[in-house]
Amino acid sequence: MPSAEAKKHLANIPGSDSFLELMHLNKDPVRFFHDRYDAHGQVFRTRFVYPVVFMIGSEANRSIMITNRSKFSFGKGYHQTSIRRVFDGSIMLQDGADHARTRAILQPAVDRLALRQSVTKIGQLWQEMGDTLADGAWYDCYDAGQRSTYRVAGHALIGLETRAEADALHADFAALMRGLMAAVPIAFPFSNLARALAARERLVKALEPRIEAARTRSPDGMLDLLAHHGLDDGDSLTVREVAEQVLLLFWAGYDTTASSVSWFFHVLARHPELQQRIATEMTEVVGEDISGIMSAKLPITDAFVREIERMYPSVLFFPRIAMEDIEFKGFTIPQGTPTFYSPYMSHHDPLSFDRPNEFDPDRWLNPDKSERPKASLLVGFGTGPRTCLGKPFALVQFRILLHHLLRRFVIEPDPNCTPTVMGLPIHHPVDSRIRFMPRN
């Protein structure tokens, strides 16, 4: 229970204590954030069963994730979610030295060297995906994004070489993803969380032989690098620990990436001129050989990817816990208060971005560099020491996707559908149908 002093501090923060707040958030999360920002500004309180505080904007993000990060617990923020049950003991639930130690183990498996080894295969998978899309049929943006990124993540992060291998594990991975987003972290019989925990055990058992085999050969790829960690100095992870970390990396590199890809499809279908600009840049700079795509200078492509992250971040908000009383913009956030930052609302903050509700990739290409927004204002992947481990993998995959699809197809929207938006748990377009027509 909050103390009388804590309640007093919370009462001084503008907002609402209504138990209907959570209902409004679930009904229309995007409207929820805009309405409360317009009414209360960059700091407001609301109630998700218990009182919580939102801190919005670039200064808030910097405080939470960089300058005052030791005062906000990342791990404890997730303790009240289903992530605690599915990824118990993982980096998601760690802070301080424990987090730094685990990150040092995982980082080599997702760095540029490991990614470089995966570029050719990722390209082949997107080429195959293009073959399946070439029939001119209508596809749902989110379904297409999920299906394609699952195969890519399955190969690059887990070493699934064939479609049959990927298909065999798909149901369990899907169950794992659904369980992570369960509203209540209690594994009731037959609940999504209970199914996720059972699926996790099956996936661990399926991965263990792969990890044992990886330790008998020279490392090649992310799973192999993680499997070899510490073998030379006798400080290796157990096979099960490797499997559990691989599942975490898969989640980091797949679920939110699928959301971004769905927004790529949705937005590009409505901007044919932008499709042409990216296709031309890819042809002129990269050509047929994608081996150098990681280091290629692709300003138009990068501007598009940044603007998608700004307008349509995959996750609307993230949790922290205030570990002590925190002063911010004249308010005191009491110790123990769940405190959230919002990539979505921060990216739509008029104090950080001109015309924040307008999709405009060219804002990142302004000839006057002083007029361009700062890329550091984007926090869709987080920022600072806890930047998402899956970010490099996602950005490379985005480049390869755009190279293979836009040089080959024109993406068209279905004029007979009326898309809407799903805000939670993953932000993505709903009922947005597209087709891929051969480019002349």
The C-alpha atoms of residue 254 and residue 127 are separated, in whole angstroms, by 18
With beta carbons less than 8 A apart as the criterion, state whether 125 and 242 touch.
no
| pLDDT attached to residue 113 | 55
The average pLDDT across 250-269 equals: 91
Distances (CA, A) of 68 to 92, 128, 245, 325: 18, 46, 28, 12
| pLDDT attached to residue 440 | 78
| DSSP string over 77-135 | HTTTSTHHHHTTTSGGG--HHHHHHHHHHHHHHHSHHHHHTTHHHHHHHHHHHHHHHTT
The predicted-structure confidence for 310-348, as pLDDT tens digits, reads as follows 999 999 999 999 999 999 999 999 999 999 999 999 999
* The model's pTM: 0.93
Q: For the chain, give every domain's residue range.
A: 4-438
Within 8 A by CB and 6+ apart from 109, the residues are 222, 223, 225, 226, 229, 249
The average pLDDT across 54-77 equals: 95
| pLDDT attached to residue 435 | 96
Q: Is the N-terminal amide bond of 367 cis, ω within 30° of 0?
A: no
| pLDDT attached to residue 112 | 63
Residue 427 has pLDDT above 90, yes or no: yes
Confidence of residue 225 (pLDDT cuts 50, 70, 90): confident
DSSP 358: S
| pLDDT attached to residue 121 | 83
Instruction: Classify domain 4-438 at the CATH class level.
Output: mainly alpha
Task: Give me the percent of the chain exceeding a pLDDT of 90.
Answer: 62
With beta carbons less than 8 A apart as the criterion, state whether 342 and 317 touch.
yes
Residue 192 has pLDDT above 70, yes or no: yes
| pLDDT attached to residue 236 | 76
| pLDDT attached to residue 156 | 76
- Picking from 94, 112, 115, the residue whose alpha carbon sits closest to that of residue 103 is 94
Q: In what order do the strands lie in the sheet with 409-413?
A: 139-140, 433-438, 409-413
- Please tell me the least confidently modeled range out of 4-8, 261-265, 270-274: 4-8
The predicted-structure confidence for 87-118, as pLDDT tens digits, reads as follows 887 888 889 898 888 888 888 777 765 677 77
The C-alpha atoms of residue 20 and residue 48 are separated, in whole angstroms, by 9
Token pair in block for residue 409: 């197809």
The average pLDDT across 376-383 equals: 95
Give the containing element (helix H, strand E) for 374. Answer: none
